[in-house]
Amino acid sequence: MRKPKAFIAEIATLGGAALTGAVASAAATGAKNARTASILTSTATAALGAGLIVRSARQERQNQRLNARLDRLISETQQLQDPEFGTSALLNELSSRIDRLPSWIDTVLAERLETQPTITFPSPNGKKRAREFGVANAETKQTRAGEFTTTLDVDVDKFLAPYEPVHLTASPLEITVDVEGATEANIDLTLLTRDGKANAKAALVAVKVLGEAGSEMDFPVLPSRSDKYGYFSYLGVTGSVSENRVAVRLPRRAKKLALSFYQWGDSTNLQNRVRVTFSGKNPEWYASRKPADIKVAAILDEFSYNSFRYECDLVSLDYSTWREQIEAHQPDLFFCESAWSGHDSKARPWKGRVYASENFNYENRTELLKILEYCRARGIPTVFWNKEDPSHYEDKKHNFVDTALRFDHIFTTDDKSAARYRSEYGHQSVHVMQFAVQPRLFNPTNGAHRSRDVVFAGGWYSNHEQRSLDMETMFDAVEASDRELKIYDRFYGSDDPTKIFPRRFQYALNPPVSGEDMAHVYKESEIGMTVNTETVSRTMFARRIFELMACNTYVVSNYSNGVYELFGDDVLYLDKNPSGLKRLSDEEMNRAREVNLRKVLSSHTYRERFADILAVAQVPNDRSVSVPPLVVRVNSFEEASDAFAALKRVGQWGAPRTILLSSAVDNLAYADALTEFNRGGVAVVWEPMLQSGETPMNQLYSGNELIVLIPLERLSKGNIRPETFADHAMHAQYTDIPVVAATDLVSDTAQSRFSQVRLAESAPTLVKDTHFKGLIQDLQSGQPSLYYVI
């Protein structure tokens, strides 16, 4: 380092004085040297004085320089205090160097640590360096219902302490966490600033979800979206330390959640520890769902929509808002049929948008194809039901076949068409699904008083020659019997000659009724007629047959291979046997009605059809039918003892068995009964606690919808088996009130079958959880209860 001249002069003079003084001291030891010593002493004194003068001058110069610096500092301080001046260049430089300090530290750490890069960000020299995040803590809590909540503490830089700041820049800091099975997440983080000024947009987090193989899923995880960042949320500061929470929606099949943090406003740091909490359902939860809880997005015509909507959580997609509907509904399945209009038969949103057609010189199914692409990207299985096979299989103007081939799974009403999909097009998942019935719409309720008419609800199609010939034969057969013909004309008043009934049958015409009222038409007489246009197929025939049978109506029809294969001679084929009506006895008719009613309600409902769809599409669910718990209600401790012995004799019931102590039993007797009988697979429940909510209703129902409530005297007779109540459960599909069998009642109820009746007597009853408390209140008060008699 170069020394100042004044400093060198000071050292030289003082050093010379010291040396001269030393020599003079030495010379003074002899007399001859006294003169010399005197001269040297004078010289040393002079040199010392000169050195002190030089030192004083140097100190004065240093003082002047220091004062000048202090003056400048005071002047700058005064300028800083002036609000119009702004921040000084000196302070800016100091702040800039402090801001660069974390990056400098990171650069040093990166040079000393060999890490695998999962986050990259710029260093001061413009090059990229690696940062590795890490999960510091992970905790998952599960419920019995199969739901879970997982909390992850993630360190943006695992080499830093959780509380240390990580500097945000215009380049992202990224972390990625596994979120499989989750449907929502919360991101909790802390921003740090020096100035503490409030800023609602101090930073930004961009969020995206990844599916199979790491592909990004286009899903609105956050309300805001930009082309640069995708879905994002601003992060705000309200002081030097600011907590932020970002709530995120996740699509059902998300695998990972990727977060990118950016600086947006002034200099901001992110506290190293970020918490991600997400919740959802595990695979066991999805496998335990009943089919009615499965979420389905659908394009169905009105009748099919009304048939399936009772069997699942169904949303009907609109042509213009389908994406928003799917994202909100999160369906397990996309189900589309060969629809002509969609479920709104007036607005007809899907008219001409489901089938392909040689009449169009453009792709008319654009939105439907987009739905398929959307579902395919998200792993949502797609199912198409072509209910127009076989008649439209070769139809190129209404080409539903081309549409069906684009779906994962195809269902068709015709078995031969199913084989053609496989052989002609090589589709690997093709299945037969016949029409069926929805018992909520078509059932035998309130059908006791019926006429002897033969009722037909439908239209005349003169362009279908064989169908028209069969109808004339069947109408003539009715007129030749002792019954009357009644027709509800679908095209009543039409001037289309192909839709006008022959003049000789017009006396029987009536205006059409709406679909909602069709069940009343089917139940107004003992006999209903159906006509099949397709008669060759072994599986395809009119759905009206199922509906008539579910209404406990005897069916006459033209011959069809499919009808005969399924129902045999329990249907009268008037085109083949025109005199059959004359010979039909009441006994034969009622026997066939009973057989067909049970067959349809047990095996040919849309509940059964939907279960088949779920099995083919491999949507997890619990299709099993549980045996209803057995409950016996008693009024004393002594009756409880008898009930306990009777329940033990029942043997293998396959469901919980419970003694229900009525409100006539006091709390002391309840305590005794609990001690004595709450064992060996038998539970004891006290009615007052059940009604007050102290004992949950599930204590009786054990997760089931139904229980068997049986009187003690009936239980004591024995011979009680779950199969005894199979018919009860079958009819409980369409009614919610308690179900009893006419054969179990003492009073004469033969004429009251399939009717709601108020009864004071008790009988073995199938009770839904929604109506149990009301029934108990009636039993306590002695008032007649409302039952459905089968």
β-pairing, 451-458 vs 525-530, is parallel
User: Over 60: is that where the pLDDT of 75 sits?
Assistant: no
Dist. CA 592–CA 69, nearest whole Å: 115
CATH, residue 233: 2.60.120
Say if 534 falls within a structural domain: yes
Domain end (from 235, 260, 284):
284
Give the 3-state secondary structure of residue 676.
helix
Q: Mention every residue, 6+ apart, whose C-beta is less than 8 A from residue 392.
A: 338, 386, 398, 400, 401
Name which of 118-132, 188-202, 373-387, 529-543 the model is least confident about: 118-132
**729 C-beta neighbours (distance < 10 Å), count:** 18
The verdict on pTM exceeding 0.85 is no
Say if 207 falls within a structural domain: yes
pLDDT tens digits, 710-726: 999 999 988 888 988 99
Say if 36 falls within a structural domain: no
Same domain, 393 and 481: no
Please give the pLDDT value at position 38: 58
Domain end (from 401, 432, 463):
432
End-to-end CA separation in angstroms for the chain = 113
Same domain, 634 and 783: yes
Range of the domain at 752: 630-789
Say if 73 falls within a structural domain: no
Please give the pLDDT value at position 581: 96
Q: Report the mean per-residue pLDDT for the chain.
A: 88
Please give the pLDDT value at position 8: 55
Dist. CA 98–CA 103, nearest whole Å: 10
Same domain, 280 and 359: no
Same domain, 243 and 345: no
Same domain, 275 and 294: no
CATH, residue 533: 3.40.50.2000
pLDDT band at 124 (very low <50, low <70, confident <90, very high): very low
User: Over 70: is that where the pLDDT of 56 sits?
Assistant: no
Same domain, 581 and 640: no
pLDDT band at 746 (very low <50, low <70, confident <90, very high): confident
CB 156 within 8 A of CB 165: no
Please give the pLDDT value at position 375: 96
Same domain, 274 and 305: no
Q: How many domains does the chain have?
A: 4
Dist. CA 313–CA 315, nearest whole Å: 7
Give the 3-state secondary structure of residue 754.
coil
Same domain, 580 and 717: no
Same domain, 417 and 472: no
Give the 3-state secondary structure of residue 649.
helix
CATH, residue 377: 3.40.50
pLDDT band at 212 (very low <50, low <70, confident <90, very high): confident
Same domain, 581 and 483: yes
Amino acid at 69: R
Dist. CA 141–CA 137, nearest whole Å: 14
Please give the pLDDT value at position 760: 86
Say if 79 falls within a structural domain: no
Same domain, 579 and 702: no
Dist. CA 586–CA 786, nearest whole Å: 30
pLDDT tens digits, 574-621: 999 999 999 999 999 999 999 999 999 999 999 999 999 999 999 999
Say if 723 falls within a structural domain: yes
User: Over 60: is that where the pLDDT of 662 sits?
Assistant: yes
Say if 362 falls within a structural domain: yes
CB 229 within 8 A of CB 258: no
User: Over 50: is that where the pLDDT of 261 sits?
Assistant: yes
Same domain, 561 and 542: yes
Dist. CA 754–CA 550, nearest whole Å: 12
Domain end (from 432, 460, 479):
432
Say if 639 falls within a structural domain: yes
CA-based nearest residue to 335, from 385, 379, 371: 385
pLDDT tens digits, 680-720: 999 999 999 999 999 999 999 998 999 999 999 999 988 88
Name which of 13-27, 144-158, 217-231 the model is least confident about: 13-27
